[in-house]
Structure 1
């Protein structure tokens, strides 16, 4: 039965124009409450965070979604079947919060689940998709993060069908609402979720650790244990070796929210985290408490050169270059750019145990094989904020420190 349903949905998706696309020409940027606050979310927090995005200049740089995660609801629907906001946490309701956020030039996101219940055992949207989507539209919500914690109760239906139902409900709600799937990468969703969502999680939840995974996490993309609530930064990057070629405008593989500013990483580690999320075209959704964030972490989140890599007009992710990398010591990624004078990005990351020197032959980098491809290009070392001379045959990097990433943008003079 399950196989028949999957085949039917596959044919339906092939026969139907993509439901996704207009809202996700570039990876989304913003903030989400979950990483830091979990269920302790309320109106005061959302409003103060929205104002902080404006005051810090983050909003001007593109961080425009303010997303309320799980914990905003009551445990029961009302007599008409509607989800209800917790009146203690949100005494003026979600619509009033949306109005405030919109008054600042920002957008509001909300959370639900494709099962009977969500992760906090609040009402999920299974069986209520049209009703909930209509309610979110009435509240002027702009973004839906749609989780899968209650999915185990709906094993008679495929994940594809459950998530597709909400996509249709949103499209018929009368309002454009960004659709962000959070199904933890199960069933290899990069093969199908781009047909009806603007972004889709490619793995289990990130946790605030640079190197250490929780028990049992598989480090590759194509495995059954995607790492529920236990994936480190380095493993998330490792999983993208198989997935970066799937990235494209319209629907983005989501490496989960940023852990920059949560106080668990060094400056080099936070730079690496931000660089790869940008170069791999993952959404840039801040997970820290930006009302209490260090100056160094804030400066990383505001780095215009890195943000421009994320928001590049071409929308192509960097790819892993195994022939130039040394497994267990350093990895090299590269990809094309097309915005302004920028034409290429190269990342060299030291994830070994000692400082290294790296010689990078440019003829081995796709798009730079011919000398003519490099004519007139100069190098910008992004984190060092240094522009160097024109390209030759190789790039020599000296003393790349442990956990450091060198982000090199090749630009026209």
Structure 2
């Protein structure tokens, strides 16, 4: 949204009391017992020991936020399993309030948009086991022109607490010329001293001004490091470049915030959406999605619901990934994890695919006589290496590995193959075993006709190894149907499971594709698989389950 500011920089004056020091020590002790100690100087409210996760209304709905939309998101978070994956906060952005305060100087929820008030919406969200966030600005008005909190900090903090608010996103529009740090500190103290004693996570939306990362940890639980994101690859790239440099400032209790996720809003490709989510997780960023969640596609759900990637973001060690190399737009990031593993992101900024490489030692892994296991967190394919970490990464794509000592491989193991565009499994039609049986997608049900064994020869064998996925007639043209056939060692029965999640036929070089799966109607039960020119679409992306 447009930002109207008038500011001057001033030295930061840290405030505190003896009681605050004791509280900080107690919070730190409790956090250590739980396994995640807040960073030195972190806000002593015991919140955000891992990066906050949830949803915010602004990116998709702007000023058209309503109680009904907020509650439908809460419903979806629970029903989809995203709440169980860690998406806890449901955040109402700007435009939720009336145009003026009441006679007592208090903020008033818009009675049309929020007929049950913020307290009623909070009660609904809390009943789902979730938390409610609210928006305000540290100026005379919000960015959309509604009453701001400048000069009303304690009154507003008391209102938020009495309504049951769990998070405050505090913007920076229409200020009085004092520093963002000074105005944020005033609200920090007001939140800490609210009349009900409610703990409220404090999210600073300062767009990276005044080097907020150098003082944010003593004032808020997360702080914006850049201007507003928009739904484009160019915006993703610019924000990544700014945020990736700031790893030293993040940790339990306080996080660099490169802004909300645009995943699922339609302005980026599936590959770019997946890169955004991978990079945000690698940078230990808050995972606050900003799409129309209840109407998410299966492709969007496959990104937001990937618990292995979420686990990288939420790792208890609380380290932001560090860029260990960046040459010609090929970026390697390494993030140490609490169990001794390292998450490695290979991000290709360029438009053409590129082979990217690093080593276990370069990313901080100890020497291992048994080699290293590379667990691809998008395809779930595991391989073993003696130390090299390498992958062909599509343009604008990211390959994300979890690297551990020891060996592991997916070869010889049996899995279902789940399509990203459908959330359905590769399936032999009607449990058929005769040669020529159609290979399709179907709701995953654990049947033998959905279990594929990966062989050293590159075959995908069903039914315990007697029948193979086969390119019909050994054809190599786009549109060739995939069927079941007796395993015979032909190259039309050999497949490569690629680092980007695609599966290509060895004979044809074409991708395993859900026919018409680039459209919602193409992802229904019974849709046949075929070979098609590789294009990065979600209907050509697969994961092992």
Give ranges in structure 2 of 5+ residues lacking alignment. 1-6, 22-40, 407-545
TM-fit CA distance, 1:411: 2.7
User: How far apart, in 1, do the equivalents of 2:394 and 2:17 lie?
Assistant: 48
The change in CA–CA distance for 1:384 and 1:28 in structure 2 (over 3 A counts) is same
Give yes or no for the alignment of 1:241 onto 2:264. Answer: no
- 2:287 equivalent in structure 1: 284
User: How far apart, in 2, do the equivalents of 1:193 and 1:71 lie?
Assistant: 26
Query: After superposition, where does 1:67-146 map in structure 2 within 5 Å?
Result: 67-146=91-170
- 1:383 equivalent in structure 2: 378
- 1:405 equivalent in structure 2: 398
The change in CA–CA distance for 1:282 and 1:4 in structure 2 (over 3 A counts) is closer
User: How far apart, in 1, do the equivalents of 2:192 and 2:359 lie?
Assistant: 48
Query: After superposition, where does 1:9-408 map in structure 2 within 5 Å?
Result: 9-10=13-14, 12=15, 17=21, 18=41, 19-20=43-44, 22-151=46-175, 154-155=176-177, 157-173=178-194, 174-211=197-234, 232-322=235-325, 325-328=326-329, 330-339=330-339, 343-365=341-363, 367-368=364-365, 370-372=366-368, 377-389=372-384, 391-397=385-391, 399-408=392-401
Q: Secondary structure at the match of 2:156?
A: helix
User: How far apart, in 2, do the equivalents of 1:291 and 1:241 lie?
Assistant: 31
Q: Secondary structure at the match of 1:39?
A: coil
Contact 1:20–1:196 (CA<8 Å) still a contact in 2?
Answer: no
More relative contact order, 1 or 2 (CA 8 Å, 6+ apart):
1
Q: Secondary structure at the match of 2:161?
A: helix
User: How far apart, in 2, do the equivalents of 1:293 and 1:54 lie?
Assistant: 14
The change in CA–CA distance for 1:14 and 1:326 in structure 2 (over 3 A counts) is farther
The change in CA–CA distance for 1:87 and 1:4 in structure 2 (over 3 A counts) is closer
TM-fit CA distance, 1:20: 3.9
Offset from partner CA, 1:361-384 (integer Å, 9 cap, x none): 33333x23x524x75641101112
Q: Secondary structure at the match of 2:294?
A: coil
User: How far apart, in 1, do the equivalents of 2:10 and 2:302 lie?
Assistant: 49
Q: How many residues align?
A: 377
Q: Secondary structure at the match of 1:98?
A: helix
User: How far apart, in 2, do the equivalents of 1:316 and 1:238 lie?
Assistant: 18
RMSD: 1.9
Q: Secondary structure at the match of 1:111?
A: strand
TM-fit CA distance, 1:327: 2.5
Contact 2:274–2:398 (CA<8 Å) still a contact in 1?
Answer: yes
The change in CA–CA distance for 1:346 and 1:84 in structure 2 (over 3 A counts) is same
The change in CA–CA distance for 1:408 and 1:127 in structure 2 (over 3 A counts) is same
The change in CA–CA distance for 1:3 and 1:352 in structure 2 (over 3 A counts) is closer
TM-fit CA distance, 1:89: 0.7
Q: Secondary structure at the match of 1:108?
A: strand
Q: Secondary structure at the match of 1:91?
A: coil
The change in CA–CA distance for 1:3 and 1:383 in structure 2 (over 3 A counts) is closer
Contact 1:20–1:197 (CA<8 Å) still a contact in 2?
Answer: no
The change in CA–CA distance for 1:176 and 1:266 in structure 2 (over 3 A counts) is same
Task: Compare CA radii of gyration and give the structure with the larger one.
Answer: 2
TM-fit CA distance, 1:5: 5.8
Q: Secondary structure at the match of 1:82?
A: coil
User: How far apart, in 1, do the equivalents of 2:117 and 2:359 lie?
Assistant: 58
TM-score by length of 1: 0.87
The change in CA–CA distance for 1:60 and 1:166 in structure 2 (over 3 A counts) is same
**Structure 1: 4+ residue segments shifted above 3 A:** 2-5, 12-21, 374-377
Pairing partner for 2:11 from 3, 6, 19: 6
- 2:38 equivalent in structure 1: none
User: How far apart, in 2, do the equivalents of 1:315 and 1:197 lie?
Assistant: 16
Q: Secondary structure at the match of 1:203?
A: coil
